[in-house]
Amino acid sequence: MLVSKYNASGNDFVIFHTFLKADRSDFAVKICDRQNGIGADGLIVILPYDDGIRWEFYNSDGSSANMCGNGSRAAFLYAYKNALINKSSKLLTGAGLITGDVDENSVEVELTSPKILSKDSINECDKEWFFYDTGVPHLVHFTQNLDKFDLNLAKHLRHKYNANINFAKFENGSLKVRTYERGVEDETLACGTGMAACFYGAVLNLHANKILSVYPKSGEELQLRLENEKIYFKGNVKHCFDVSIEI
């Protein structure tokens, strides 16, 4: 079978399309392995859905995820390049239906409406955290020093709250973000829903503009905007290669 490798802001994915639904958890673990497989943060399987597409999304550990912001951008570009959709289309995720617009290698997606999971901030290890769902749950902590990203604390909170953990720095009108992702069980170079959660938190709590440049650990610049309580997420996607593999 033919599979493709795509990279969105440092998040990499193996993608293919099919008409057949299946449990591909074990396949995701094998194909995402960076020593014995292709290597990726996740596996995306594209299936048809009405006038758009739907997906099966697997983390590198084989677990399923309802949503992935960078993955959705990669999925839209893949589907467009393979003539499965037009430039503007829809993607059914586990978190709901989202829209996407492709402009050459740039993709903007309208994410599902953000949710506040805790009305009050949460105190953990003398740090203030905000709890949001931007497709999947995220804890967000704002700091002035991202070098103090605490991997052990992130691991602890990831399991305590079953959420992704984000450290963010808002300065000079832009936002920098580092994220520990469940399913990958490590810090990743980028997390789309994590950036969206940090952006949403900055707007609500730090009086940030509703249009911001956001930078993940990979250093790529992405654009996020809040409009009518919807978060729009835009950035470039790279088609790395296609390869034929045996299952």
The residues annotated as belonging to the active site are 68, 191
CB neighbour list of residue 141: distance below 8 Å, 6 or more residues apart: 127, 128, 129, 130, 165, 166, 167, 168
In the chain, alpha helices (H): 25-32, 69-81, 151-161, 192-205
List all residues 6 or more positions away from 172 whose beta carbon is below 8 Å from its beta carbon: none
Q: Is 12 exposed, middle or buried (0-12, 13-18, 19+ CB in 10 A)?
A: buried
